[in-house]
Amino acid sequence: MKVGILLEELFDEREFIYPYYRVQESGLEPLVIGPESRAYKAKSGWLARASAAAHEIKASELAGLLIPGGYAPDRLRRSEDVLDLVRAVDADKKPLAAICHAGWVLISAGVIRGRRLTGYHSIKDDLINAGADYVDEPLVVSGNLVTSRGPADLPVWVRAFVEAVTESS
């Protein structure tokens, strides 16, 4: 089963690397997806490659989708192809995970109104203004949404996402 992991410039490498290997260790296949199929630079300068462009992937090909944080979500939300993929994964009720600033992508995709979630404290107002029920907790699972606040929450976030993927498949 393939699990998509979104990537864009200035991603938080911890929020990409940790889930990438945890997904792989769980027997799932990570598929790195960007607006384009190319290399992207992390906040630290480290490079990671998206092996697929968002327009090439259908939600039906994925068992779930992870969105790392950093500054990348502000760039990801500008891609209609990325937003279409997020909407399709959500519409299929497949696990959709966002951490830190990745809530911005969920806002732009229009999938959070009336739903309970968390994210980095600096986007709290954005989430609330978009209609979310924001809570400051390490992990919030609300239907198919799996959200966390930041790098300190990575272990519980990824564990909950992998459990959601394996239970739904």
Phi, psi torsion values for 15, nearest 5 degrees: -80, -5
Q: Please state the separation of Cα 36 from the chain's center in Å.
A: 17
Determine the pLDDT at residue 145.
98
Pick the CATH number of 2-168 from 3.40.50.300, 3.40.630.10, 3.40.50.880, 3.40.50.1000: 3.40.50.880
Q: Where in the chain are the domains?
A: 2-168
98 pLDDT band, cuts 50/70/90, is very high
H helices present in the chain, as ranges = 13-25, 72-76, 80-91, 103-109, 124-129, 154-168
pLDDT at residue 91 above 90? yes
Q: Give the pLDDT confidence score for residue 104 in this predicted structure.
A: 98
Q: Which residues are catalytic?
A: 101
Give the percent of the chain with pLDDT over 70: 100
- Give the pLDDT confidence score for residue 109 in this predicted structure: 98
Q: Is 160 left (phi over 0), alpha (psi -120 to 50) or beta?
A: alpha
Task: Report the SS3 class of residue 140.
Answer: strand
Residue 169 — very low, low, confident or very high, per pLDDT cuts 50/70/90? confident
CA-to-CA separations, 46 to 13, 59, 108, 119, in angstroms, rounded: 8, 28, 27, 24
pLDDT at position 8, please?
98
